[in-house]
Amino acid sequence: MQIDTRQLSDNQTIPADVCIIGAGPAGLACANEFIGKGIRVALLESGGIREEKRIQRLSEGEIGGCMDEAPELTYLRQLGGTANHWIIKMSDKQYGFRYVPLNKIDFEKRAYVPNSGWPIRRSDLDAYYARAHQVARIGPYNYEPGRWETEKFKRLPLDKNRVLTDVYTFGPTQVFTRELPGKFARSGEIDIYLHATVTELLTDNDGAIVNRARVQTFEGKTVYFKAQYFVIASGGFATPQLLLASRSKSEQGIGNAHDVVGRYYMDHSLVPSGNFYPLDPKSINTPGLYDMRLVDGCSVLTGLKLSKTLIQKEELLGFSATLFPMPPTEEVTGLLALKNMAMAIKSRKMPDSLIMDLKNIFHAKKYITRMLYQKWIHDAPVMPGFGQGGWSKLNDNHKKFQRLELLAFVEQSPLPDNRVSLTNEKDALGCPKIKVHFKWHEHDIESILRSQEIIADALDGTGLGRFERAITENGMPIIGAQGLHHLMGTTRMSDSPKMGVVNKDCKVHGMTNLYIASSSVFVTSGYSNPTLTILALSIRLADEIQQQLKFS
C-alpha cells in the first residue's frame, strides 16, 4: 500500500517489524525479501512519485576541495531513487542501467592502497549477486567473456597476463521505478510512505537501540515510526547526514564514537583515455564484441581491464576502459552543436553560441544526415557512447567512424579527509545541511597514467592499429572532481569501530537494531558500477534481519 505521510495525523506513531529509510534500489531490494514472510515493513521515501524541486532542495549542501558539483545534483529523492535517472538505451529498446560485480582483488587488503581490505570476500557475495540478478532481471550471473562471444564478434588478441576483456550486463530501469513499487502497493505486508523525510533517529537512554524514526513534513506535521529493526538505505550522502544529525543522546551522532561517519568518501570518475585508429578503416567493426549487444536475451557490453597479476605487480588501482567508435572531430563538433540547439529550442532560449553552432552543423551536415537516417531506420545511435550502443549492427561503419575512443572507469583510494560533514546551516525541515570535501590522491593520478600506458601498449600490440593517449599538456590525465554519482565509503564496513561504521553484516557498531543498505558501506570502490553490489548487500542484510526476527 502507498500512503501519503502528509495526510496522517500529527504526532502519530506507526508500528512495524522493520522500518526501511529510503525507497531507491537498495531499499526496494531489501524490502522485496520480506514479501511472503509475515513481516510488516514500513518503507519510507523522502520524495513522492515524481521529482519535486522543494524536496530535492533538502539535499543541498556545500562543496570543498576540488569538488565541482553540488550534492543535490548527485542523487534523487523520489520513489525509485536515482534509478529514475537511469537512461542507458539498451539493445532491446528499453532504458536500463549497467551492472557488474566487484572483482576479487577489490575486497582484498592491498598494502599500497591505504585503508583497503573488506571483512568479507567476493565469494561471500556470489550467491547474493546471483539473487540480485533475478531481482534486477539482468540474465544469468556469468561475467566470463567467452559466454558472450559469437562467431562474428571475438575478443581482441591481447596478452592475457596484462589486459583482459571485461563484461558488463544491463537491466531495465522500470524494475525499480515501476515494478517493485507496484508490487509493494498491492502487498499487504509492505507499506510505502511517501513524503516521509526522516530527520532524526531516536534511541534509548543508552544510545544502543533505535526506538523511533522521526519524520517531518513541510506542512509542519511530525510522525514517528517504531520498529524492531531499522535499515538506512539513503545513499552515500544522506546516510551519514542522518547518523550525524541524530544527536539527542550524543553530540557525535549515532555510530560515530571514533569520528568515522562521513569519512572515506569515494566516487567513480569517467576519464577520457585516448583514441585507437585502425590501420585498415574497414576493420572498425573488428572490436564489435565491445559494443552493447543483445545476446540470448541479455544486453551486454565488454571493455578492457588490467589483470590481477599486473595490478599487484605494478601496485595499481582498478581501471576499466570501454571503446566507442567516433567520427572525425568536425563531425563530433557538429553533432554537439545540434544537441546544443535542440536543448536551446526546448528551453526556448537561444544560446550565445548560435552563429557558431549553425556553422558547425552546416560543416557536418552530410554526416548528421546519414546518422539521423540510421537512427530513423535502424534505431542506431547518432553518436555512440555510454548512453547508447548498437553501432556494430550497422553497415559501412568505415564511412562513418574514424577511430575508437576509450573512456575509463577508475578506482579512487579511500582517504579519511575526503568526507561528508555537517554545516551550521539548516534545511527547510530543520536538519543540518552537509558539506562534501574531495581531493585527488597523488597515487590515484599516477595509477591512471600507468594504466593508460598499459592499455595503449596492449592495443598497439594487436597489430590492428595505433593508439594515441589523451593527456593534458602537462602530461596529466584528463580528470575532474565530478564523478558518476556513485557515492561510496561514508559509512564503511570494518570489524573494528575505529575503522568503520558497520560490521560485516552491515549493522552499525554499538547498535543492536540499526543496519545500513548502501554503497556507503563500501571499503574500497573498485572501478565497477556499485549497484549490483548494493543489491547483493541489501539482500544479504534482509536475510540477516529475518534470522534475528526468528529469535526475537
In the chain, helix, strand, coil percent, each to 5?
30, 25, 45
Between strands 222-232 and 12-21, the pairing is parallel
Cα–Cα distances in Å, from 372 out to 327, 378, 382, 397? 14, 10, 6, 14
Residue 546: per-residue pLDDT: 96
CA 238 and chain centroid, separation: 15
- What does the alpha-carbon distance between residue 98 and residue 486 come to, in Å, rounded to a whole number? 12
Residues comprising the chain, all counted: 552
Q: Is 45 in contact with 192 (CB distance < 8 Å)?
A: yes
Residue 209: per-residue pLDDT: 96
Kindly give the parts of the chain with pLDDT less than 50: none
Cα–Cα distances in Å, from 114 out to 52, 528, 532? 40, 19, 25
Residue 482: per-residue pLDDT: 67
End-to-end CA distance of the chain: 26
Residue 342: per-residue pLDDT: 73
If one counts every other C-beta atom within 10 angstroms of the C-beta of residue 388, the result is: 21
- Write b or e for each residue in 328-358: b if 16 or more Cβ atoms lie within 10 A of its Cβ, otherwise e: eeebbbbbebbebbeebeeeeeeeeeeeebe
Residue 367: per-residue pLDDT: 64
Q: Which residue has the cell 556469468?
A: 142
Q: What is the dihedral of CA 388, 390, 394, 399, to 10 degrees?
A: 40
Between strands 2-4 and 88-89, the pairing is unpaired
**3-state DSSP assignment of residue 446:** helix
- Model pTM greater than 0.85? yes
Q: Is 299 in contact with 91 (CB distance < 8 Å)?
A: yes
- What does the alpha-carbon distance between residue 264 and residue 93 come to, in Å, rounded to a whole number? 38
Residue 232: per-residue pLDDT: 98
